[in-house]
Structure 1
Amino acid sequence: MTTGLVAPEHEDWRHFARKALANRSFLTGAVITAFVVAVALVSFVWTPYDVTKLVIADRLQAPTASHWFGTDHFGRDILSMVMVGSRNSIAVALIAVGIGMAAGVPLGCWAAAKRGVADEILMRTSDIIFAFPALLSAVMITAIFGPGAVNAIIAIGIFNIPVFARVARGGALALWPREFILAARAAGKGAGLITVQHILPNIANLLLVQGTIQFSLGILAEAGLSYVGLGTQPPAPSWGRMLFEAQTMMSIAPHMAIVPGMAIIITVLGLNLLGDGLRDVLDPKLRREH
């Protein structure tokens, strides 16, 4: 039985949809992100040309009707490489965010519930990790364990762990003194059950917004690692490696750098706009009181 103080679930979704459609940042970011994801999905079944096929006779062609974005120094179609590179970048960033969230959220919630020594250890460890720039940390890890997409995922994922731990901890600390949490404790529920039933659902919005932001940073990190030769390895295309290969061709084939560079910029911009829009739409202070 519901009361007037609790809105039905479908009303919550309708309210979210209305706010989302009225938010320009969310709409723009969602459209750009959906387009990039669609391109990545299409690349699994179709690309204009085979990205592993070298056609030296067609090398360094400017954009034409046959090759919309031109060709590179090996005669490969740049549009096809950007399409395949999008799925590699998205896969690396998505899995890395998943690693950070899967490990960081439980740690943050545990520290908030235990406080004391556990909380202090988590915070000081986070401070140590944050003392090193994210890309530098990823470079050090991949330099030690070797280049490749798997090690890039691990490196980016490790840096994401303290990020999500801090977000989860901050959100959980704000909830533990609340009346409904005190009522749950009075009913005999343990810290673990309270976390699962009450804390996590109430900090899901924070985690979703942070996940979107970390996703965009993961795209940049993967491109940076591939640029220095520590990320996705050939023959698999990568936006960062495409930029590296184009740096000596700027005077004769600037399209080799412009196209992957714009792909990175547009993707990161879309994800950042989506994150900003989500933060506005999901901000509790802006939500309708039921």
Structure 2
Amino acid sequence: MNRNLIIGMFLSLLFVAAALLSFLWTPASTETLNISGRLQAPNWDNWLGTDHFGRDILSMIMVGARTSIAVALVAVGIGMGVGVPLGLAAAANQGGLLDEFISRLNDLIFAFPSLVIAILITAVFGAGAVNAIIAIGIFNIPVFARLSRGAALSVWQREFILAARTAGKSAARISTEHILPNIANLLIVQGTIQFSLGILAEAGLSYVGLGAQPPIPSWGRMLADAQTMVTLAPHVAIIPGMAIVLMVLGLNLLGDGLRDALDPRLKGRRA
């Protein structure tokens, strides 16, 4: 039994369920202010307490999960949707001009810290969830491009690919029908890892005011708002911080468990 896979799936599904439930129900409105009830500790009416505006923190966490998951999911989709075809094209044209161009473009993007450039992009084009998605998505592209290129190159050397080429199949068709299915497990594992990094990136951008804007709740902005009240009401900072930690931990454990489950060479090696 793969414990990492079970624990990671449980934590990930817990936050996904909370995000989906927030579309239908939350304990309280995240837009309703209650100054007289601000900074309350966890109690029967507010299970996780209230923030500096008197808003229910549990409701904020639920809707914030929706924001973080949506931004990270679309950003990963951008990375995979653009990066994988580029990587497959580079592998099919190994040593050619296209391969060289894609490789140097990847190197150029990797030369800069991703979060710093994401902050620059959102600062130039404006704060907001859409620009955060674009900024995070851009740096997912070279990750998937480099991974898919490296994995595809090893598959291109196999005998069944030689048979497909002998049968007259084009490089594009071989990449789609034979290469992609054989590297899908690697892409799935990397996708979970990039998903967790997307959660962190969204929280970081929101923390500095460049992510989702009010009144949309965000875990990063909840931390930013709470940083001056840690001694007065520590739960206001601890709870969103723990949400980020548990979500990222769950996704990393899920990715680790999927790697063990999908890679036959690792089966049985780990408990």
> How far does the alpha carbon of each residue in 1:69-105 deviate from its partner, in whole angstroms, 9 at most, with x for none?
1111111001100010000000000000000000000
Aligned residue in 2 for 1:182: 162
Inter-CA distance 228–264: structure 2 relative to 1 (3 Å threshold): same
Distance 1:140 1:200 in 2: 34
Distance 1:44 1:251 in 2: 33
Say what the alpha-carbon RMSD is for the aligned residues.
1.0
Q: Within 5 Å, which residues of 2 pair with 1:54-93? A: 54-93=33-72
The partner residue of 2:209 within 212, 224, 229 is: 229
What secondary structure does 1:41 align onto? helix
> How far does the alpha carbon of each residue in 1:110-151 deviate from its partner, in whole angstroms, 9 at most, with x for none?
000012221121111111111112211210110110000000
The partner residue of 1:259 within 216, 235, 239 is: 239
Distance 2:176 2:267 in 1: 23
What secondary structure does 1:285 align onto? coil
Q: Within 5 Å, which residues of 2 pair with 1:78-227? A: 78-115=57-94, 116-227=96-207
Distance 1:64 1:183 in 2: 68
Unaligned segments of structure 2, at least 5 residues: none
Letter in 2 for 1:90: I
TM-score where L is the length of structure 2: 0.97
TM-score where L is the length of structure 1: 0.91
Unaligned segments of structure 1, at least 5 residues: 1-21
1:209 and 1:279 in contact (8 A); partners too: yes
Distance 2:206 2:223 in 1: 9
2:260 and 2:267 in contact (8 A); partners too: no
Letter in 1 for 2:152: A
Q: Within 5 Å, which residues of 2 pair with 1:270-289? A: 270-286=250-266
> How far does the alpha carbon of each residue in 1:176-215 deviate from its partner, in whole angstroms, 9 at most, with x for none?
1110000000000000110111000001001000000000
Distance 1:176 1:287 in 2: 25
What secondary structure does 2:174 align onto? helix
Distance 2:6 2:53 in 1: 39
1:67 and 1:79 in contact (8 A); partners too: yes
Distance 1:82 1:195 in 2: 42
> How far does the alpha carbon of each residue in 1:7-29 deviate from its partner, in whole angstroms, 9 at most, with x for none?
xxxxxxxxxxxxxxx11111110
Letter in 1 for 2:41: A
Distance 1:261 1:159 in 2: 24
Which stretch shows the higher mean deviation, 132-141 or 260-269? 132-141
Q: Percent identity?
A: 69
What secondary structure does 2:180 align onto? helix
What secondary structure does 2:265 align onto? helix
User: CA shift at 1:287, angstroms?
Assistant: 5.9
Distance 2:117 2:165 in 1: 41
